[in-house]
């Protein structure tokens, strides 16, 4: 099921909220959420829902055994086995075809290439189970004794299929006890509608520009390629941050407080800061669980950094362009690390902004092209060797026809809402006005997005495929 469908907005969600409000007690409310979450997932994945359930059983059992065998070698074996199982399932369903293809190409073999459909959300819920097992092993959290509560953590539909990656410690207490205030309801609906608007009004419209530029890279001009890559960076941002907004808003409606996943990444001044603001749940996952992993018996600062960025690329997909993309960003983070924070800050802010945006735009160009021959064409074009000139007439027409969309997208990359909240905090009387205005704007946005979704055929979130 997709959040940006009228069926979800006007049937599934209202029904879930109504049943949730009618039942009393946290235990019964948890049951309602589990049932609706399983229906939500099975709606699009009727068979793979059993894979997710089995993963929940394996990791729940491992957590219980870890607690029983605390301090014993067998406990470490159990933890390692659970993590290996999680990675093995992810590897089979996500990377087996990619591995077979490359073995065939490298060794001139003829291994059968598996054609396995990727279960939606497997990358996200697998990382949640891995983080849970490691945290239990490290005694950061206590193992959940109730399978029902653990199942809720794994299947909770607001963040199930495209994140953010919610750690067990974040919602551990709220699984047992939570409440929903009028303020939570208002915030939840406003955040949900904001995310929906990002997806429908910005990301979906930007995709048209991307398809006409990067999608036709063979005939794109120098300006067209840069314009397309910049549009794609914005599309990815509004698509994925929009999903995260919806997830956070939905979580709040049910009393859960998920951590932020994006913090206006395009206002960054360097690439290190960009990754402190972009897909925060993934970057912090690798930082906490992978960066300091011993390599050949020792913790190696730069070796760990390389491993993190290699895995960041691999996590995003079974294609060489994602590996190149991860290493590409890793090299810039390494460069900034070697340069040092003090030296980086001495560089004029304007230059740092220009540098970071060029790196980011090229990075998303790499992210777009899974076909390496087209990726090579993209590189030739953005560096002026594409052979299609500096700018084409269609690029001018595309820009003129979409100038309002581009301006709106650029404006929305800034922390406007945070700025308005700070302004309201300074004058208490303005707070009521701001709340009323937010409600009116949200209502208007909901109407507009609903109208645009009436004729929409399919508009899945881009991160569903990861």
Per DSSP, the residues of 384-397 read T-SSS-S--HHHHH
Confidence (pLDDT) at 118: 84
Q: Which residues contact 252 (CB under 8 A, 6 or more apart)?
A: 180, 184, 185, 187, 188, 191
Q: What is the separation of C-alpha 93 from the centre of its chain, rounded to a whole number of angstroms? A: 19
For this structure, is 316 an active site residue?
A: yes
Name the pTM for this structure: 0.92
91 and 151 part of one domain: yes
Q: What residue numbers bound the domain in which 151 lies?
A: 6-178
Distance between CA atoms of 224 and 336, rounded to whole angstroms?
30
Decide if 172 contacts 92 (C-beta within 8 A).
no
Whether residue 283 is contained in a domain is answered as yes
Q: Are residues 163 and 303 in the same domain?
A: no
Query: Any idea what the Cα angle at residue 95 is, between residues 94 and 98, rounded to 5°?
Result: 130
Active-site choice (257, 279, 316, 353): 316
| Total domains in the fold of the chain | 2
**SS3 state of residue 270:** coil
Label residue 46 exposed, middle or buried (CB < 10 Å: 0-12, 13-18, 19+).
exposed
Alpha-carbon distance of 409 to 206, in angstroms, equals 9
Q: Does residue 349 fall inside a structural domain?
A: yes
From 123, 148, 178, the end of a domain falls on 178
CA angle, corner 305, sides to 304 and 310, nearest 5? Answer: 95
Burial (0-12, 13-18, 19+ Cβ within 10 Å), 356: buried
**Residue where a domain stops, chosen among 148, 178, 208:** 178
Is residue 315 within 8 A of residue 282, CB to CB? The reply is yes
Which of 122, 153, 178 is at the close of a domain?
A: 178
1 inside domain? no
Same domain, 166 and 74: yes
Residue 427 has a pLDDT of: 65
**In a shared domain, residues 228 and 350:** yes
DSSP sequence for 56-100: HHHHHHHHHHHHHTTTSHHHHHHHHHHHHHHHHHHHHHHHHHHHH
Claim to verify: residue 150 and residue 29 sit in the same structural domain = yes
pLDDT value, residue 429:
56
Q: 166 and 74, same structural domain?
A: yes
Q: 277 and 299, same structural domain?
A: yes
Are 190 and 98 found together in one domain? no
The model's pLDDT over 141-194, given as tens digits with 9 standing for 90+, comes to: 999 999 999 999 999 999 887 779 999 999 999 999 999 999 999 999 999 999
* Beta bridge pairs of residue 298: 295
Does residue 173 sit in the same domain as residue 193? no
Weakly modelled stretches of the chain, pLDDT under 70:
296, 423-431, 456-460, 463-466
Residue 128 DSSP SS3: helix
238 assigned to some structural domain: yes
Q: What pLDDT does 227 receive?
A: 96
Query: What is the DSSP code (8-state) at residue 402?
Result: T
Q: Report the distance separating Cα 193 and Cα 182, nearest Å.
A: 17
Three-state secondary structure call for residue 340: coil
pLDDT of residue 372: 95
CB neighbours of residue 223 within 10 Å: 19
* pLDDT score for 34: 96
In a domain, 75, yes or no: yes
């Amino acid at each position: 099921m997709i959040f940006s469908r009228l069926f979800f907005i006007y049937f599934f969600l209202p029904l879930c909220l109504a049943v949730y409000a009618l039942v009393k007690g946290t235990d019964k409310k948890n049951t309602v959420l589990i049932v609706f979450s399983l229906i939500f997932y099975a709606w699009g994945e009727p068979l793979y829902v059993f894979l997710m359930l089995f993963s929940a059983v394996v990791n729940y059992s491992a957590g219980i055994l870890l607690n029983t065998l605390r301090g014993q070698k067998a406990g470490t074996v159990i933890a390692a086995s659970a993590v290996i199982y999680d990675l093995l399932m992810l590897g089979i369903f996500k990377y087996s075809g990619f591995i077979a293809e490359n073995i065939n190409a490298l060794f001139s073999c003829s291994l059968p290439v598996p054609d396995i459909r990727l279960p939606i959300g497997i990358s996200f819920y697998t990382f949640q189970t891995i983080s849970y097992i490691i945290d239990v092993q490290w005694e950061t959290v206590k193992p959940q004794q109730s399978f029902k509560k653990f199942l809720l953590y794994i299947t909770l539909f607001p963040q199930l299929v495209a994140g953010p990656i919610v750690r067990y410690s974040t919602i551990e207490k709220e699984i047992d006890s939570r409440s929903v205030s009028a303020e939570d309801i208002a915030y939840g609906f406003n955040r949900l509608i904001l995310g929906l608007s990002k997806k429908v009004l910005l990301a979906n419209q930007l995709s048209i520009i991307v398809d006409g530029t990067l999608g036709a890279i063979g005939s794109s001009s120098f300006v067209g390629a840069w314009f397309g890559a910049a549009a794609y960076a914005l599309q990815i941002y509004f698509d994925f941050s929009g999903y995260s907004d919806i997830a956070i808003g939905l979580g709040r409606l049910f009393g859960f407080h998920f951590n932020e996943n994006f913090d206006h990444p395009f206002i960054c001044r360097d690439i290190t800061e960009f990754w402190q603001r972009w897909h925060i749940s993934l970057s912090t996952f690798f930082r906490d669980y992978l960066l300091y992993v011993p390599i050949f018996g020792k913790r190696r600062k730069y070796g760990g950094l390389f491993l993190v960025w290699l895995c960041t690329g691999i996590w995003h997909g079974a294609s060489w362009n994602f590996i190149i993309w991860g290493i590409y960003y890793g090299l810039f983070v390494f460069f900034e690390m070697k340069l040092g924070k003090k030296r980086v800050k001495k560089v004029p802010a304007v230059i740092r902004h220009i540098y970071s945006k060029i790196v980011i735009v090229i990075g998303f160009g790499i992210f777009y092209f899974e076909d390496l021959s087209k990726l090579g064409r993209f590189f030739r074009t953005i560096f002026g060797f594409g052979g299609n000139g500096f700018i084409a007439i269609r690029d001018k027409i595309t820009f003129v026809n979409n100038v309002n969309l581009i301006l709106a997208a650029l404006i929305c990359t800034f922390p406007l809402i945070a700025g308005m909240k700070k302004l309201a905090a300074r004058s208490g009387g303005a707070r009521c006005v701001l709340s009323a205005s937010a409600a009116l704007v949200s209502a208007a946005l909901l109407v507009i997005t609903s109208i645009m979704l009436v004729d929409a055929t399919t508009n899945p979130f881009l991160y569903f495929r990861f």
